[in-house]
């Protein structure tokens, strides 16, 4: 599992470069530039959570209550769910009027990913 409250820079994330490139295009969709997206992430609480295939429920249950709640919220109330690369899906859940959100990038082979099937 990987969690970041900062803008994801190249080489920081534990995902293939092709997945990073596609993820980045989705993160930039609502912004006029990467600079404005980074500024937004600095000002408005935004989190990126990556769950790999091997991240079991036990791994998640050992995390803080706050992180567990963020994952549950993203799984339950996604604004959208979209495929990323061949093996991932990206869900975005907004939790405030100012647009604070949770990006959940989850490997399709993670058992928890099934919860997004009905989203």
Domain count, the chain: 1
Residue at 57 is within a domain: yes
Residues spanned by the domain of 81: 2-103
Residue at 55 is within a domain: yes
In 3D space, the residue among 91, 103, 100 whose CA is nearest the CA of residue 42 turns out to be 100
49-55: average pLDDT: 95
How do residues 81-100 score in pLDDT, each as one tens digit? 999 999 999 999 998 888 88
Beta strand spans in the chain (E): 2-4, 46-51, 80-84, 88-94, 101-107
Per-residue burial over 7-20, b if 16 or more Cβ lie within 10 Å, else e, is: bbeeeebebeeebb
Token digits of residue 1: 């599992």
Confidence check: pLDDT of 117 > 80: no
- Other CB atoms within a 10 A radius of the CB of residue 119 amount to 15
Residue at 108 is within a domain: no
Read off the pTM: 0.93
């Amino acid at each position: 599992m990987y969690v970041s409250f900062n803008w994801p820079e190249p080489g920081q994330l534990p995902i293939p470069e092709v997945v990073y490139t596609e993820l980045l295009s989705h993160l930039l969709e609502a912004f006029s530039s990467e600079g404005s997206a980074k500024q937004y992430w600095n000002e408005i609480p935004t989190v990126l959570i990556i769950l790999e295939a091997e991240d079991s429920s036990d791994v998640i249950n050992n995390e803080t209550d706050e992180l567990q709640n963020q994952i549950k919220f993203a799984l339950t109330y996604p604004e959208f769910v979209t495929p990323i690369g061949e093996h991932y899906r990206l869900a975005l859940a907004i939790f405030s009027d100012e647009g604070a959100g949770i990006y959940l990038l989850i490997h399709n082979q993670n058992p928890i990913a099934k919860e997004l099937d009905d989203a």
